[in-house]
Amino acid sequence: MALLDRARQHATNVAAEHFPDLPVETIDWEVSHRAQRQAGVTKYDPATAAITIALTWKAYQQHGWEQFSETVRHELIHA
């Protein structure tokens, strides 16, 4: 999906500049078509140390990439 590809690339660029110790290549990405109240969410599984960032499709459609790219940056802070 184009949104996930763009989000991954943006995350790689942001992490390189602002979060150099974050293993961004290990983050799993998904798109939620059901979420209504949030643009994104970061999930962490302490048992496996897996990080998943879920982005909300509806928020992307409503706000466009320029504003939505800030959601990706924000979720990286949680990661």
pLDDT in tens, 11-51: 999 999 999 999 999 999 999 998 878 999 999 999 999 99
Question: What are the start-end ranges of the E strands in 1-79?
Answer: 28-32, 40-45, 50-56
| Residues 14, 26 contacting (CB under 8 angstroms) | no
CA distance 72 to 10: 8
pLDDT at position 35 is: 82
Question: pLDDT value at position 16?
Answer: 95
